Amino acid sequence: MKTNYLLLFLSSILWLAGCTDKCKETRTYRRYTPVNYTLAQLRQGVHVENAQTLVNPGKIYTKDQFLFINELKQGIHIIDNRNPSSPKPVAFIRIPGNGDMAIRNNTLYADSYMDLVTFDISNLAAIKEVSRVPNVFPNGSFEGGWWSMDATNQIVYDQNVSYVTETIETNCEENVTPTGGWGWFTTALSSNAQFSSADKAGGSTTTNGVAGSMARFALYSDYLYTISQSTMQLFNIKDPANPKIGNQIQLGWGIETIFPYKDKLFIGSQSGMHIYNNSNPEKPERLSVFQHARVCDPVVVHDHTAYVTLRSGNQCGGFTNQLDVVDITDLVNPRLLKSYPMRNPHGLGVAYPNLFICEGAYGLKSFNISDVMNIDRNLLDYIEDLNAYDVIPLEKSLLLIGKDGFYQFDASNPRQLRQLSHIPISRPTYY
């Protein structure tokens, strides 16, 4: 009997001694390839086409129950959203180098690498380019890939982005730094969007569209505000079809998003949130800067509180991923109330008392923010199985854009967001 026990034990030990941990790290990252275009080539590339499928969506914008979805560097999809359960593509405006847009009344403003292009969209069946302000944007970035204009040689130097997914075996610990093919660069996904409002200008009512928190274009009074990496360029749009170059304001480095709220402008940069007094729309004046670690930070505002998401990765740098809640009662001295850890927050939207935060590849979160000191305890819903880049909360619905397409939710119950529709991308996978 004893021999049997011993044999059983010994054979088990021999077999089990081969036990090996299996730890696999899967990483998806961006890879850049240089590409050049002539300015003439880019300017001739603008035209209206039939509706197309989403391939690599960027930002979203909405006005009068129509959706405008940016196709990164390609143009703008126009979608009829009068029936949110079944949005219908209407047309596609091909605009090389497009990343941002803004709409006032029936005039669409869009960037095309170095130019600002204006379209008349009063008749969606006959959209036409009405004017162009050339060479106003000297450089910029898409998905962390930088482009720049060489005015002398009439060339734009750009980088195409591809997504690479790799898997390696790790030693199941936390101290493994990717090496070799797992190179660490410092670049970032910059984005844009803004919220809109109705302005009374010159006695006539004007209506603006609504953008997300990642916008780089904003409308206020008779001005279109556009931000580049370091400056805010104003355009006078008193004559909407013919924007005139206005003041240029130096903002500092790493500027990313602009959010107009009442007569203030909140500008997100890689080093902090800038607050500008815009009571003189022709010449915004800086009130203060709320500093934070070097990361990307879109911002939204409700009453006396600003909500800033900080994320790492790409050109954002840093390793901070959190939501900062900032008291802006005193606009000259913004004060951090509390920080909440997040996964990889991108755009966000507030429809008080609810706050929606896009977590990039990690989904969408819905919070109740009635108690700003306990937001983490008030997570109402978390949808993990989608890619969320930016969000626009409307009265009862939620528009969301991500790398896997456009989603529309019924947000009347923020504890249980109900999907109304989804426009998928046409690629088999989004990375």
Partner 1 sequence: MKRLLLYLIMAFSAGNASAQLFPQRPTYVNYTEVGGLFGRVLSGPSTTQIVENKVSLTAQTFNGVQLTQRVAVGGLVGIDWYKSALLMPVGAGIRYDLIRSEQNVRLLAVVDGGYGFAWLHTNSTGYDLKGGWMINPGIALRVGKPSSSAFVMSLTYKRQTADVQKPIGGNDIQRDEARIYNRMAIRLGVSF
Query: If we measure between CA atoms, which residue out of 250, 255, 246, 257 comes closest to residue 133?
Result: 246
* Span interacting with partner 1, options 2-10, 83-91, 150-158, 414-422, rule CB under 8 A: 2-10
Cα(430)–Cα(425) distance, rounded to whole angstroms? 8
Contact characters 341-360, partner 1, x per CB under 8 A: --xx---------------x
Contact between 385 and partner 1 (CB under 8 A)? no
* Span interacting with partner 1, options 103-111, 185-193, 228-236, 272-280, rule CB under 8 A: 185-193
Beginning with the edge strand found earlier in the chain, give each strand of the sheet holding 145-150 in spatial order: 139-142, 145-150, 155-169
Q: Could you tell me the smallest distance in angstroms from the CB atom of residue 69 to partner 1?
A: 20
Task: Restricting to residues 256-315, name those near partner 1 by CB under 8 A.
Answer: 311-314
Name which position in 173, 200, 204, 395 contacts partner 1 (CB under 8 A).
173
Contact characters 400-419, partner 1, x per CB under 8 A: --------------------
Q: Which is nearer to partner 1, 9 or 253 (CB)?
A: 9
Read off the amino acid at residue 35: V
Name which position in 86, 126, 250, 319 contacts partner 1 (CB under 8 A).
319
Three-class DSSP category at 6: helix
Q: Which is nearer to partner 1, 6 or 51 (CB)?
A: 6
Binding residues for partner 1, total number by CB under 8 A: 55
Cβ–Cβ contacts within 10 Å for residue 151, how many? Answer: 11
Query: If we measure between CA atoms, which residue out of 70, 56, 317 comes closest to residue 163?
Result: 56
H/E stretch holding 299: strand 299-302
Cα(170)–Cα(24) distance, rounded to whole angstroms? 6
Task: Restricting to residues 29-48, name those near partner 1 by CB under 8 A.
Answer: 29-31
Query: Which residues contact residue 1 at a Cβ distance below 8 angstroms, ignoring those fewer than 6 apart?
Result: none
Contact between 21 and partner 1 (CB under 8 A)? yes
Residue found by looking up tokens 């869009």 in the block? 110
CA 94 distance to own-chain centroid: 20
H/E stretch holding 41: helix 39-43
Q: Which is nearer to partner 1, 31 or 94 (CB)?
A: 31
Q: Which is nearer to partner 1, 90 or 168 (CB)?
A: 168
Contact between 200 and partner 1 (CB under 8 A)? no
Task: Restricting to residues 94-113, name those near partner 1 by CB under 8 A.
Answer: none
Cβ 254 vs Cβ 271: under 8 Å: yes
Contact between 339 and partner 1 (CB under 8 A)? no
Cα(121)–Cα(130) distance, rounded to whole angstroms? 10
Cβ 323 vs Cβ 288: under 8 Å: no
Cα(104)–Cα(120) distance, rounded to whole angstroms? 10
Give the tokens for residue 331.
């606009």
Name which position in 3, 125, 152, 183 contacts partner 1 (CB under 8 A).
183
Cα(72)–Cα(111) distance, rounded to whole angstroms? 11
Q: Could you tell me the smallest distance in angstroms from the CB atom of residue 162 to partner 1?
A: 11
Contact between 26 and partner 1 (CB under 8 A)? yes
Q: Which is nearer to partner 1, 16 or 125 (CB)?
A: 16
Contact between 25 and partner 1 (CB under 8 A)? yes
Q: Which is nearer to partner 1, 152 or 179 (CB)?
A: 179
Which residues here bind partner 1, judged by CB under 8 A? 1-2, 4-5, 8-9, 12-13, 16-17, 19-31, 144, 163, 168-174, 176, 178, 180-181, 183-187, 311-314, 317-319, 321, 343-344, 360-362, 431
